[in-house]
Amino acid sequence: MTVSAEFLARVYAGEEIFTNVPGTFANESYKSRLPGLVRDCVDSNRERFSEEKCNRLLQLADDMVNDAVIPFPSQYPEQAAKSPTSAQWESLLKDKNYTWQNSPWFLSEQYMFHLVLLLAEYYTTGIDPFHPSKVAELKEVTPWALLQTAVGLSAQEEATSQSHHDQLKRFMKLCLWGNKADGCYKEVKDTISGADASLEFDDELLLVDDSDKVITYLENQAREAGDTKKLEIQYINDNSGTDYVSKGLLVIRPDIFWNRYTYYWEMPTELRTRLANEATLVIIKGDLNYRRLLGDRLWPPSTPVEEAVPYFPTAFVSFRTMKSNPVVGIPADIVEKLEKEDQKWRYNGKRGTIQSVLDPNPVIE
């Protein structure tokens, strides 16, 4: 099953974001943000990486700044042969002659992380080059301050006998703003850093809030199902609660599709069918997954979500702190106001959306 030709024509009519326009977030990412991320990776691995590995990674950082040609996975044959996704990357890059600052942003940014794994020999050692930075973040005060915010709000709401509906709505917002804690985007992460870090934000920064709709949908689904059917919620996320996993409350069901350079309308039939048959609601979390919904194209921002994502196999809700340009479902008057107030409103991480499609009618052939 595939999406309709008409839908794909509409997608590809939209502007694809390239990295070659000076002053844009995509271009600046290769001049400072991503090279800095790779250099930080080297600094945190000095004690366990060989000098050769460190130099390879530092060269990658310099290549991004200097707009070098993007290398193929086959230039690192031993590692590429062990990777389940290198063949796809080879095909995507072949005959394109892309450089870091003249390439499709979504493609080259994802490939950069794959290249870090190859250069760090991850597929031989199994050592995550970003593990030290992840551990260091957990040793900082910020994540625990954020957790304390959530715990405190929960206790406060229980003491005031708030309804389950209102409690769940609050936690959905906490879930959204937790996306600010992004180690790949320091400028956004720094907005909630320190002992006073909080997940309490002005609702004016939440440009679309479908939380009430989603909760009502789940309540209706539960009421209709009664005791005859167990409702399932599927998470598309980059991390999971270990306590829930250990107790069997959260089951990890990996699929290589999530790790490939793909858009969600390219979902294989088996996975599409499983979600359609088993999931009452899919939770799609984070900016990267939002970009995969939209094909990383610049849709008119007032386009209804249902029009931009007519293909998803079941009901879904997206939690997204805005860290890139693509966006839909924003009323035109709000877009006009934001363009005047803040030229970086699409990607500076200050704003967020909770958007849903709860009555899907997938357009597929």
Number of domains in the chain: 3
Of the listed ranges 6-10, 190-194, 340-344, the least confidently predicted one is 190-194
Q: Are strands 206-209 and 297-298 parallel, antiparallel or unpaired?
A: unpaired
Cα gap 179→237, rounded to integer Å:
11
Confidence of residue 253 (pLDDT cuts 50, 70, 90): confident
Distance CA 29, CA 69 (A): 16
Domain boundary among 135, 156, 175: 135
- Residue 59 makes CB contacts below 8 A (sequence gap 6+) with none
Residue at which a domain ends, from 80, 113, 135: 135
Q: Is the domain of 304 the same as that of 263? A: yes
Shared domain check, 319 and 225: yes
Which residue segment(s) compose the domain that 178 sits in? 140-199
Asked whether residue 360 is domain-assigned, the answer is yes
Indicate whether 46 and 57 sit together in one domain: yes
Q: Is the pLDDT score of 31 beyond 70? A: yes
CA 91 from chain centre, in angstroms, equals: 24
Q: Residue 287 pLDDT > 50, yes or no? A: yes
CA distance 342 to 345: 5
Q: Same domain, yes or no, for 185 and 273?
A: no
Residue 309, in any domain of the structure: yes
- 181, 131: one domain: no
pLDDT digits (tens, 9 = 90+) for 35-47: 999 999 999 999 9
> Backbone phi, then psi, for 336, in 5-degree steps?
-60, -40
Q: Of 135, 154, 182, which residue sits at a domain end?
A: 135
What is the pLDDT averaged over residues 54-64?
A: 99
Residue 14 lies in a domain: no
Residues 74 and 214 in one domain: no
Whether pLDDT at 193 is above 70: no
- pLDDT band for position 197 (cuts 50, 70, 90): very low
Residue 182 lies in a domain: yes
With cut-offs at 50, 70 and 90, classify the pLDDT of residue 137.
confident
In this prediction, residues 18-29 reach a mean pLDDT of 94
Domain assignment present for residue 7? The answer is: no
* 78 contacts: CB under 8 Å, gap ≥ 6: 124
Say yes or no: 243 and 153 in one domain: no
Residues 157, 66: one domain?
A: no
Measure the CA–CA gap between 249 and 234, rounded to whole angstroms. 12
User: Are 90 and 157 found together in one domain?
Assistant: no
The whole-model pTM stands at 0.87
Q: Do 49 and 69 sit in the same domain of this protein?
A: yes
Over range 76-83, report the average pLDDT.
97
Same domain? 317 vs 191:
no
